[in-house]
Structure 1
């Protein structure tokens, strides 16, 4: 008796591809996927490992031009439509010009649009009409100050900041600690709060904190995926998150 022939599902279909250059210590790939539409895939490359703590030296090292270019080149094998560099400190440590050079280098290697986390933050602030904000970071004080300086270059006013003073294992920080950090950073004069570091888990905190504080709460992975997807004409998945509710067609590049 012939075996029953099981129906074969349609597919797999054509997925859109967003490339990601991650620093070597990135531990939150799974969080990044939570913003991705079902029809879109992440293709991830990492920079080489260096045994450093999280400070200005590490931020500069993970933004090394040759290492960024090599990681970006490896992504061309899967034909991404755009590429993001998913690191806040590595893209702001050398200021606005440094961030622009980094995304420019990735575009040169891949031939597609590219954006860094710090550039994505500026795009998101402009899209939301935010000129004054509070910043919450897991960083040591000197690195937090570099972020303040980066924002000032673009005419953004940091009304207050709060940090955790960490130089390692940032992805281990519990949600409760991060939520308290955001509350400590917030001020009435802040139109939004930005939570730095792509290695700090934040996805499930964003919508509840926005409701509690009555203002946008932007996070590093959120703005990175938002900016990358808008280069594909797509919007990220993020129920209740104000940034994700913006129509991509109304958002222009910074």
Structure 2
């Protein structure tokens, strides 16, 4: 895919719109025609100790939705470990697999049906990429079969966003442990996206406590010249208020989990994703 410079993207968004037309050619008619019911059903894992952190995460998700698009949400259970302990098998990848497969996601989506959402989005990047593309597709299919509504995930949305931007090589920053970081690299490789540098911060869980300035600095440190864009992976990260500033600083697109998921959900609902200050994805 032909790469367009960041400066050219800022001046003329037609290249992004053209790519997105292809990326969203499979959007369902239900998503396109839901003008009288554009409500996002957001599902997320409760891996935070404090309600304060949960509320901040929900506020972050809403920052990528225009006022006319309401959101209803449900959380799924995450087993919490003492700060000095690890899962029994020592693997945060196994925790991600458990989150994807224990049935809580479909159950949460089914509970939300009485609030009449028009699409679903699963806001956990790890659980949606940890078993590769096949695992991500299976997760979406289970939600769609349980509800009859279209569903996306953070990982699906990230890939669509990077493809729309013409990105082939990316630098990543995340709060992940190394095993999850490697799973992310493998997932992106399946999608023809090469990770040329990564900077995981090695948080086992409670990712929502990472300060915005910490993940922003991690993104700066991860960026290298050969990267077409920087990806900040993890829906627990608070990035909305600095994405555009960081893009200007680095001279390249910055894609984040919550940003990409909101962007794709809006596309699925037939809403043009235009919000100031939320990165180039929302400017073109």
TM-score (norm 1): 0.87
**Whose RCO is larger (CA < 8 A, sep 6+)?**
2
Q: How does 1:15-164 map to 2 (within 5 A)?
A: 16-25=38-47, 27=54, 28-52=57-81, 55-164=92-201
Task: Please tell me whether the aligned partners of residues 76 and 110 of structure 1 are also in contact (alpha carbons under 8 angstroms).
Answer: yes
The structural deviation recorded for 1:57 is 2.3
Distance in 2, matches of 1:173 and 1:126, equals: 28
- Name the structure with the higher helix share: 2
The structural deviation recorded for 1:15 is 6.0
- Greater Rg, structure 1 or structure 2? 1
Distance in 2, matches of 1:196 and 1:237, equals: 21
Task: Please tell me whether the aligned partners of residues 136 and 155 of structure 2 are also in contact (alpha carbons under 8 angstroms).
Answer: yes
Q: Give the total of aligned pairs.
A: 233
Distance in 2, matches of 1:161 and 1:49, equals: 26
2:239 matched residue in structure 1: 202
SS where residue 62 of structure 1 aligns?
Answer: helix
Alignment match of 2:280 (pick from 225, 242, 250): 242
CA RMSD between the two structures: 1.6
TM-score (norm 2): 0.78
Unaligned runs of 5+ in 2: 1-35, 49-53
Whether 1:218 aligns to 2:255 is: yes
The structural deviation recorded for 1:61 is 1.8
SS where residue 128 of structure 2 aligns?
Answer: helix
